[in-house]
Every structure is written in structure tokens, then in C-alpha cells.
Amino acid sequence: MKKHLFLLLTLLLFFTSLNADTSINGSLKIDLRSMFKKPYCNFYNREDILTLKLSSDISDNVSFYTSVEGRYFDATKVASFEDTQVREKVDPVEFDIWESYITVNSIIFENMDATLGKQVVEWGTADMLNPTSTLNPHDLSDPLDFSKRIPITMFNFNYYPDNDYFNKIQAVWIPAHKPALFPNMEMPMKMKVPEPGEIKQIEENGLFPQDNPFLQIFANKFSITRETNEYVHHNPFYPKYSESGIRLSFNFFETDFHLSYFNGYSEFPLPRRVKITIANHDELNKTIEKELEGVAPGNKIGVGAAILAGDQLPVDIRTDVTLAYPHYHVIGADFKADISGIGVWGEAGYFIPYKFDITYIYPDSNWMLTNGMTELVNNHQFTIKYKSSELPFLDRPFLKYTLGAEYIFKGGYHLEAQFARGFFFEQGATNLNDYLMLEFDKSFLEGKFKFSLAGGGSVEGGTLIHLIKYGKLQDDISTGIFGGPKLEYLPYDGIDIALGAIFMGGSGNSFFAKMKDMQQVYLQAETDF
């Protein structure tokens, strides 16, 4: 891996020396983080991130750009003695070709350009929470960085009309859908999805209803183990699964407006098929047949006594979940303006889903109540009959939006506030929650130090409407809180040293309540060159 990186850096420097119109720059970031986990703090991240960017004017109308991201990890991957002899295990390094594209000016018309290749195109005007920015998937390799996007191959055309109000028409075609990159840890980003009532019974109590004492006698003899497997169905690389979008830019009364449309797929998958089975059904019946040897078929009392007298019966409940990426039309609008020194912005995305139903296949408890026990008594067989239910999930459009403002007070005190309906991974009208985010910062000692305090909270969707309607909060509401301070030291141009902390918590099923184990303190140093 290091040899590949060295070769790539050598090529970049070679091209720089050949062309006087070629420039190279980049950055280096040193990142050390420690969790607040009890009973002691632990370093969960220690890495150096080197980014190199090269741009070159090939001719008057053609230019080239590429960037490389290399990561050096202090944490080793040694698991055996043999691993100590492998450099990639002892001294791990990774690198990626990040962006790489060609820009052609005046490609068809004089005032039209095209950017072709692996790139990031961000739409929207809000800070980080951009419901209209649907082209590039999120890079969540850092689970607390919600702003980083993965570059993907696009054909990006921009036409600039000769008009004082109509600024630009942008058309984008993406040959293949790419999903979001998840971190190497559990992320609490699963949506609440509809499910049959029997599913909850099976997940919490097993195969038999708790209100049937007779069946519970047998149920208590089952030693249940559970296994869940998740599979992802991704669209094949066919033209009909490509994505596209268009964005119009306007300017009226010194305010920037944009209208956009996207036809493509979500970057986050949702359950499409859930199948719950008794994985060891055949082995279970062999055990039952052995225990019932000598018991006459039809002898209900004898069968019950033999099972109760025997050992516990192992039952392996296996759940196979197939995930798929929903298909959407997204109609977007956003604006940004300065009103008497106050910066204001807003954007909204109206998501129109294609039909997305969830199919469940699971043991039929009602059939087992009437027929299953008869099969066990008469034939010494634990018989399972499965049923299927199809429930609609994404069956209606939903609106996600962000509104924000910022102002610099006298003395250089900067304050920013944003309200968002729907976090970036939330899908479906019943899964949108409300978020409030605040950020304050102030530079002092001639700009050599900067103090920032950021944070906010979240409440379960519908809370504000319920409060207005009934004058009180609903029971068992899910809430979240997050935030932390940061102190930056900027002694010279090109260097930024930061010390900070991130705190999270809450109640119920909120995202930040589930992320509380990620609370941490960090030390970072970054330089640009």
C-alpha cells in the first residue's frame, strides 16, 4: 500500500514539473480522540490524514483536477505473531483517489461547461443538513462528521444564460447509484417500520402467546436462541438504474434562489423483506421423536408428560432481513440572503417515493394454536406453518426542511441557529424528527485563539404539534441533546491546533441518546500548504 502511495505521489510531482500551469497543494491533519467510557478513557482513534490536490490547465479550455487522501493509523491490526511480520498489519496505511475529473469550457455553447469524472456536487444553502443535496452519498467513516460526502462519477453540465436574474442551469447524470459509507461500528440509524403484531410476540415472548397457560407449559421447555442476518440488495449496473438531476439558479433582490429536481435512490437502505424461520426445525423434530418413543400417537397426556420430563428443546429462531434502497423523486428549493447584516437561509426537499412495501414471512401462531399441538400429539412432529404479510411503508410523500440564520454582534461574537425537520438519514413521514442547532464562536488575543460552543437538541416528530394542541407533552417522548466546547490556537498562518469535547445523551429512541457511548475529547492539528 505504501509503495502504491509513493508511486502516486511521484507521478503527481512529475506532472507538476512538466507543466508550468500545474499546481499542487493539500493539507495534513493529526487527529487524536479519547472516549469517556467507564471505567477508563480509551483512545478509539489516532490517525494522520494527508490530502494532496493537483490541478492542471491542459489547454485554454480543458483542465484536470485530482486529489488523493492518505491515512496513517497508529492502531495496529496485529492478531497473531505472523501479523507482526506484515507491514500493513503493524503499520497500517490506506489511500484513496478522492476526486478526479476533467473540466471542459465552451463544450457546446460559448457559455456552457462540463465537468466529467469523480466529483462532489453539493446542492442547498443550509449548514450541513441539506435535504436537497441528494447527489453524493455521505462518508460516515468518521461517525460524528455529517458533512463529508463521497465523490462519485458524474456528467455535470452547467449553462450560464446571459440574463441578470437567471444565473445558471445545471444538469447532472450519474451512471450508477452509490450507497453511503458506514463506520466500522453500530450506527443507530434504523427507521421505525410497520410490522405485524405477531412479530413483536415472536421477538419478545417466543412462538406462543403469553396469555395461554397450556401452551406456556410447552413454551418454557424451549431454549430459544436468536440469529439475525442482514443482506443488502443493490441495483445492478444497468442504465435504467442511473440517476439524474437538474438545478436552476436565480437572483432576485440580492437573494439567491435555487429550484432542483432529483430522480434517484436513497443512500440509506430500508428493510424490504423480513423472513423469520425455525432454522433447526428438522433437528428439533428428531429430538422430539426420540423423547416421545413409546408414547402412543394421540395420547395428549402422555405427550405432555414426556416433553415436560425431558430436557429443554433448543429452538433457533433465524431472522433474515433483506435491505433495499428506496427510489425517490425529490423536488427541492432553497434560498440565501443577507437582511440588514443577518444572514438567513432555508431549503426544503419534497420526497415522492416509489411504492415501497415490506414483506414479512413468519410462523403462524394462530395456526399453531389450532393445528400445531394436534400435529405434535398425533404425529410427534413440531409442525410450523408460515404466513406472509405485506405492509406499506413509503406510501406517501414527505417534506424535509432546514431554516437558519447567523449574525455577528458587536465585538465579533458570532451566533448561528438552525431548525431542521428530518435528519439526513430519516425516511418516511412517520420517521421525521425535529432538530435545533446552535453555534457560538468568538476570536480573541488578536485572532490567535478562537472559542466555539456548539450544541442543540432533538424531539420526536409531532411533539410541537401535540404540545400546541393539548398543552402538554406526550408520554414516553424521545429526546436528544448534543454539544461541546472547542478551543483553537492559531499561532501562525497555515496551522490550527484544536482541543475540544463532544457530549451526547437523551431518552427513548432518539439518535443522540443511542450515540451517548461516542462521547469524547479530541486533540487535532491541521496545516494547509
Segment 83-105 mean pLDDT: 86
Task: Please provide the average confidence, as pLDDT, over all residues in the chain.
Answer: 88
- pLDDT (0 to 100) of residue 79: 81
Structural domains counted in the chain: 2
- Banded pLDDT at 454 (limits 50, 70, 90): very high
- pLDDT (0 to 100) of residue 271: 95
Least confident of 227-236, 331-340, 484-493: 227-236
Please, where are the H alpha helices in 295-397?
300-309, 365-367, 373-379
Segment 253-264 mean pLDDT: 96
Q: Is residue 265 part of a domain?
A: no
Least confident of 136-150, 279-293, 457-471: 457-471
Least confident of 35-44, 188-197, 227-236: 35-44
* Spatial CA neighbour of 219 closest among 316, 319, 315: 315
- What is the pTM assigned to this prediction? 0.89
Least confident of 214-223, 330-339, 422-431: 214-223
Q: Which of 186, 216, 249 is the last residue of a domain?
A: 186
Segment 91-106 mean pLDDT: 90
Q: Is residue 472 part of a domain?
A: yes
- pLDDT (0 to 100) of residue 37: 72
Q: What's at 84, amino acid-wise?
A: T
- pLDDT (0 to 100) of residue 334: 98
Residue 78 scores a pLDDT above 70: yes
- Residue 149 DSSP symbol: B
* Spatial CA neighbour of 329 closest among 265, 393, 380, 377: 265
- Banded pLDDT at 456 (limits 50, 70, 90): very high
Which element (helix H / strand E) includes 6? helix 2-18
**Domain residue limits at 425:** 396-528
- pLDDT (0 to 100) of residue 40: 58
Least confident of 118-122, 287-291, 453-457: 287-291
CA 247 – CA 266 distance, rounded (Å) = 19
Segment 255-259 mean pLDDT: 97
- Banded pLDDT at 41 (limits 50, 70, 90): low
- pLDDT (0 to 100) of residue 297: 86
- pLDDT (0 to 100) of residue 257: 97
Q: Is residue 191 part of a domain?
A: no
Residue 321 scores a pLDDT above 60: yes
**Percentage, residues of the chain above pLDDT 90:** 55
Segment 289-316 mean pLDDT: 83
What grid cell was written down for 338? 443577507
Residue 453 scores a pLDDT above 70: yes
Q: What's at 338, amino acid-wise?
A: D
Residue 484 scores a pLDDT above 80: yes
Q: Kindly report, residue by residue over 234-247, the tens digit of the pLDDT.
A: 888 888 899 999 99
Q: Kindly report, residue by residue over 199-224, the tens digit of the pLDDT.
A: 877 777 677 666 666 566 666 777 88
What DSSP string runs through 84-145?
GG-HHHHS-EEEEEEEEEEEEESSSSTTEEEEEEEE-----SSSS--TT--SSPBB-SSTT-
Least confident of 184-188, 292-296, 331-335, 369-373: 369-373
- Banded pLDDT at 387 (limits 50, 70, 90): very high
Q: Is residue 200 part of a domain?
A: no
- pLDDT (0 to 100) of residue 6: 55
What grid cell was written down for 360? 414479512
Q: What are phi and psi of 237, to 5 degrees?
A: -85, 70
- Banded pLDDT at 350 (limits 50, 70, 90): very high
Residue 20 scores a pLDDT above 80: no
CA 245 – CA 179 distance, rounded (Å) = 17
CA 115 – CA 155 distance, rounded (Å) = 6
Q: Is residue 74 part of a domain?
A: yes
- Cβ count within 10 A of residue 144: 15
Q: Which of 186, 218, 242 is the last residue of a domain?
A: 186
Q: Kindly report, residue by residue over 495-515, the tens digit of the pLDDT.
A: 999 999 999 999 888 999 989
Please, where are the H alpha helices in 328-459?
365-367, 373-379
- Banded pLDDT at 39 (limits 50, 70, 90): low
Q: Is residue 159 part of a domain?
A: yes
- Banded pLDDT at 97 (limits 50, 70, 90): confident
Q: Is residue 516 part of a domain?
A: yes
**Percentage, residues of the chain above pLDDT 70:** 91
- Cβ proximity of 373 and 380 under 8 Å: no
- Comparison of pLDDT for 235 and 42, the residue scoring more: 235
Q: Which of 137, 156, 186 is the last residue of a domain?
A: 186
- Comparison of pLDDT for 210 and 178, the residue scoring more: 178
Residue 476 scores a pLDDT above 60: yes
- Comparison of pLDDT for 413 and 186, the residue scoring more: 413
Q: Is residue 274 part of a domain?
A: no
Characterize the bridge pairing of strands 386-394 and 356-363: antiparallel
Residue 3 scores a pLDDT above 70: no
- pLDDT (0 to 100) of residue 154: 97
Segment 296-302 mean pLDDT: 85
